[in-house]
Homo-oligomer: A and B are copies of this chain.
Amino acid sequence: MSDVSSIPPRPGLPVGTAAERRDAARNRERLLAAARELIADCGAEGLTMDRLAEHAGVGKGTVFRRFGSRAGLMLTLLSESEAVFQSRFMFGPPPLGPGAPGLERLIAFGVERISYVMEFGDLVLAAEHASHGRFEAPAAVLWHRHIEILLREEGFGSDPWLMAWSLAATLDPERLLSLVKVHGITPDRLAASWRDLVTRVVRGA
């Protein structure tokens, strides 16, 4: 009978899964290291699953066994910074975290999200691409819910759930990146427009 409490924690993996074998853990580390290296060298678009497998010295099947898909790999690479972002708007200091009025939190949320996309843009894009249910990803669901709650807090009456979706659409990474990279819009201007949008939506009650 094995002692469950002796199983070492494996950050990033769902709880309740059987313990990871040594070789599996080693290969996961190898793969993540190789992936970060390749992205640093060739950018996120330059990372192919074949190259990753070769670079990490494992078979291709192993890559897919670990991460399920390319999008899954990108998600894993992002998970740390995502977690930081999430904890900041859920538990951090105002105006992003609790303590400030809903409208200010909404504004801060959009501004932070824009910064986040500017920093990890291509990775986020790669994580969303090919993932058919991109709107059902746990992180996306969390944002929608967050926005919805803030809307309700501000007394938004009519269909706050759907309005949260509309507002989230404005923060879509692909759109933001297109605006910045193709049209040369500055992040500041994006932030100003977001502030304007949410203010009108909330005040227009």
Contact = CB atoms under 8 A, between A and B. Distances in A.
Interface of A: 133-136, 158-159, 162-163, 165-166, 169-170, 172, 174-175, 178-179, 182, 185, 189-190, 192-194, 196-197, 199-201, 203-204
Given A133-B178, A135-B178, A159-B192, 17 more contacts: A136-B182, A158-B193, A159-B193, A159-B196, A162-B185, A162-B189, A162-B190, A163-B197, A166-B169, A169-B169, A170-B170, A199-B204, A200-B203, A200-B204, A201-B201, A201-B204, A203-B204
26 contacts: A133-B178, A133-B182, A134-B174, A158-B192, A158-B196, A159-B189, A159-B192, A159-B193, A162-B189, A163-B196, A163-B197, A165-B170, A165-B179, A166-B170, A166-B193, A166-B194, A166-B197, A169-B175, A170-B170, A199-B204, A200-B200, A200-B201, A200-B203, A200-B204, A201-B204, A204-B204
A125 to B, nearest CB: 10
A170 B169 CA distance: 6
Contacts of A162: 179, 185, 189-190, 193
A90 B109 CA distance: 37
A185 B162 CA distance: 9
A114 to B, nearest CB: 12
Contacts of A199: 204
Copies in the complex: 2
A194 B163 CA distance: 8
Contact of A175 (B165, B185, B204): B165
